[in-house]
Amino acid sequence: MYGPNGKGIAFDAKQTGETKRFPLSNMKQHQVEFLRYWDIVGGEAYVFIQFYSIQGFEEFYMTPISLITNYWDKRSEGQKSIPIENFEDTWKRKTKDYLNLYENSNSINGK
């Protein structure tokens, strides 16, 4: 998928029934590595995260891979999840519009 600026966009989608945190165990090593690589080479990389217990199935967070990797890299220090307070309201998107979400807003990674 390409954004309006011609940059490639890569994403993965996850959901959780948790209400206060996103468990890092929902992600797999190869998923994080691919999205991190995509970001490093100049693409846009996101994880669409849905907290269905509080958001229902109507919306999700278009989460920049940088948030995931910041916590992922701390797993050896005991980090097991990302607190919901770290997800910004500006990242919320409507589920029904996920194919058009990039066209309707600027990049949230600032690239």
All structural domains of the chain: 10-97 (3.40.1350.10)
For position 96, what pLDDT does the model report?
75
Would the CA dihedral through 107, 91, 42, 16 be positive or negative? negative
For position 31, what pLDDT does the model report?
98
For position 97, what pLDDT does the model report?
66
- How far is residue 58 from each of residues 18, 26, 32, 39, 51, measured CA to CA in Å? 16, 20, 25, 27, 10
What token pair was written down for 50? 């849905």
Q: Are 47 and 14 in contact (CB under 8 A)?
A: yes
| Tens of pLDDT, residues 66-94 | 999 999 999 999 999 999 999 999 898 88
d(CA 69, CA 44): 14
pLDDT along the chain (111 residues), means of 10: 73 95 97 97 94 88 96 96 94 75 51 46
